[in-house]
Amino acid sequence: MSFLILVRHGQSIWNLEKRFTGWVDVDLTDIGKAEAEKAGLLIKKRNIKVDLYYSSLQLRANNTLKLIQKALDDEKIFTKSWQLNERHYGALTGLNKVEMGEKLGKDKIYEFRRSWDIKPDPLSKNSPFHPTNIETYKKLSKNVIPDTESLKDTYTRVIEYYEKEIQKKLLNQNILISAHGNSIRALCKYLFKLDNDQISNLEIPTGNPLVIEFNEKSIINSCEYLDKDRAKNLLVF
């Protein structure tokens, strides 16, 4: 038996401001920090010893993980990968979701946010929000940096990394991944075999550990959110 714990980062500054964030590096709000600390305490109460930690390259996911580890009294070094990054929202990056809904229509914004294979227009490389202009990605090959992404694009890179770096380690180790709404949605689609309609309806709450239990044959036995008051419908259990 082993456990995979998926945690979307705590509330970020741009979450609070209702802005499309994507690959931009923004930090947590005070609420987000509290969510991360609570996540760590809930994992500790559940008495799960985490063997390996993974995160994206992004500050909000990294700082969420650090606060979880602090609550667990665990100082292990965690592995970072760009493939666990949030979906890139292209030309929508930095814009206010409510204002864009009024401008383009709520249905169009929902389509951009929730559809499987539709992507926004690409973000100009001259934008300060383009990853090539953000210090976090200076060492990352420009060949892998997107200008925009659909959920399908995000799924491809996330699952490629999961299958190569994480899946086999779950045979005998407990793993925690601190990531983002869409990278975790991608993992849920893969793990729970959700179809494209189901994944469009899946919401991932901030800072709430999703604990997935595997049996010795790597089959999912159960899954649950540890913060019951803030749990979302998983569509599968």
CATH of 2-230, one of 3.30.160.270, 3.40.50.1240, 3.80.10.10, 3.30.1280.10: 3.40.50.1240
Q: Which residue has the higher pLDDT, 192 or 200?
A: 192
Of the pLDDT bands very low, low, confident and very high (cuts 50, 70, 90), residue 18 is very high
Helix ranges, 48-172 (H):
59-72, 97-104, 106-114, 151-161
Q: Is the pLDDT of residue 235 over 80?
A: no
**Is 9 among the residues known to form the active site?**
yes
Residue 36 contacts residue 67 (beta carbons within 8 Å)? yes
pLDDT of res. 51: 98
pLDDT of res. 237: 62
pLDDT tens per residue across span 86-122: 999 999 999 998 898 888 787 877 777 778 999 999 9
Q: Which residue out of 9, 88, 130, 180 is catalytically annotated?
A: 9
Q: How crowded is the C-beta side of 107, counted as CA atoms within 13 Å? A: 0
pLDDT of res. 92: 95
Mean pLDDT of 139-146: 94
Q: Which residue out of 35, 37, 86, 203 is catalytically annotated?
A: 86
pLDDT tens per residue across span 160-183: 999 999 999 999 999 999 999 999
Q: Is the pLDDT of residue 213 over 80?
A: yes
pLDDT tens per residue across span 35-82: 999 999 999 999 999 999 999 999 999 999 999 999 999 999 999 999
Measured distance CA(82)–CA(144) in Å, rounded: 9
Q: Is the pLDDT of residue 155 over 70?
A: yes
pLDDT of res. 232: 82
Bridge-based pairing of strands 210-214 and 175-179 is: unpaired
